[in-house]
């Protein structure tokens, strides 16, 4: 049947969704080992084809999956990915037609390194504040979860101090997703996307407006910080405290 679509695991570090037509092949490659689980590709997907793989709690970071039936190979997940974990191939060539036709501007990222030493493009600006007096004693879930080593505590006591490497923050919300008291302990906001400003935002087509809305709008932030993550973190905190007893 034409077109033919399927998802296949090529190796532990390569998964692809492929669509074949008579003289045209589209492949969305996903490289799990490059993925830092920022989640940017999930809300920006116009077909809602991207999702986190844990069926029990989709609000927690995890391997990203793609629904081959709904994906239409637009390349937005490739465009927005800060690590190159997503790659769109058209007839075996890396190609982002949606950028070439002017629908999306060229991103102007700041080049960083992740906790694992891998290259990361910082494509968002924003603000982050940690209120250490609100942090539960002995909790450092945010430190462990952050892929960019942004947060450092002087201790895990109630009177702890915090050091923030704000230049390294990519505003992925990983810290807030695992924090048991996110509304009290962490103030985190995305304010803008780093892109070529030679053209005004309104000169681009709807996909760019949709990306901005998906990453920066109040609705997007509320969706990102679903309550399930906080509830699961509370359980993890209780387990940690029991281990210390």
As a whole number of angstroms, the distance between CA 145 and CA 229 comes to 13
Q: Split the chain (245 residues) into runs of 10 and give each run's mean pLDDT.
A: 80 89 90 89 90 57 78 94 96 89 88 95 96 94 95 92 96 91 92 80 72 76 49 51 54
Q: Which domain holds residue 96?
A: 4-111
| Same structural domain, 67 and 168 | no
Q: How many domains does the chain have?
A: 2
Question: Which pLDDT belongs to residue 148?
Answer: 96
> Could you tell me if 64 and 84 are in contact, meaning their C-beta atoms sit under 8 angstroms apart?
no
Reported as a single tens digit per residue, the pLDDT across 70-83 is: 999 999 999 999 99
| Same structural domain, 128 and 221 | yes
| Same structural domain, 208 and 234 | yes
Question: Which pLDDT belongs to residue 208?
Answer: 86
Boundary (domain end) residue, out of 83, 111, 139: 111
| Same structural domain, 227 and 173 | yes
Q: Is residue 67 part of a domain?
A: yes
Q: What's the pTM? A: 0.80
Question: Which pLDDT belongs to residue 212?
Answer: 87
| Same structural domain, 145 and 82 | no
Question: Which pLDDT belongs to residue 202?
Answer: 55
Assign residue 88 the CATH number of its domain: 3.30.70.20
As a whole number of angstroms, the distance between CA 226 and CA 245 comes to 30
Question: Which pLDDT belongs to residue 32?
Answer: 87
Boundary (domain end) residue, out of 111, 144, 170: 111
> Could you tell me if 201 and 212 are in contact, meaning their C-beta atoms sit under 8 angstroms apart?
yes
As a whole number of angstroms, the distance between CA 9 and CA 20 comes to 17
> How is the beta sheet containing 4-11 ordered, strand by strand?
4-11, 14-20, 25-30, 86-90, 93-94
């Amino acid at each position: 049947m034409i077109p033919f679509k399927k998802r296949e695991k090529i190796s532990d570090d390569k998964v692809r969704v492929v669509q074949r037509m008579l003289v045209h092949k589209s492949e969305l490659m996903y490289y799990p080992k490059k993925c830092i689980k920022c989640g940017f590709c999930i809300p920006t997907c116009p077909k809602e084809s991207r999702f986190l793989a844990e069926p029990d709690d989709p609000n927690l970071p995890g391997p990203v999956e793609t629904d081959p039936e709904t994906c239409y190979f637009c390349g937005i997940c490739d465009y927005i990915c800060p690590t190159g974990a997503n790659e769109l191939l058209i007839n075996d060539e890396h190609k982002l037609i949606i950028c070439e036709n002017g629908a999306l501007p060229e991103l102007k990222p700041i080049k960083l390194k992740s906790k694992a030493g891998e290259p990361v493009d910082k494509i968002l600006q924003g603000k982050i504040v940690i209120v250490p007096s609100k942090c539960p004693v002995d909790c450092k879930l945010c430190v462990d979860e952050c892929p960019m080593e942004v947060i450092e505590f002087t201790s895990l006591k109630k009177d702890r101090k915090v050091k923030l490497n704000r230049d390294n923050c990519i505003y992925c919300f990983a810290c807030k997703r695992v924090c048991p008291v996110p509304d009290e302990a962490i103030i985190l906001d995305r304010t803008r996307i780093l892109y070529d400003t030679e053209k005004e935002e309104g000169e681009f087509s709807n996909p760019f407006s949709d990306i901005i809305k998906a990453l920066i709008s109040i609705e997007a932030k509320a969706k990102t910080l679903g309550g399930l993550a906080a509830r699961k973190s509370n359980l993890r905190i209780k387990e940690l405290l029991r281990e210390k007893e």
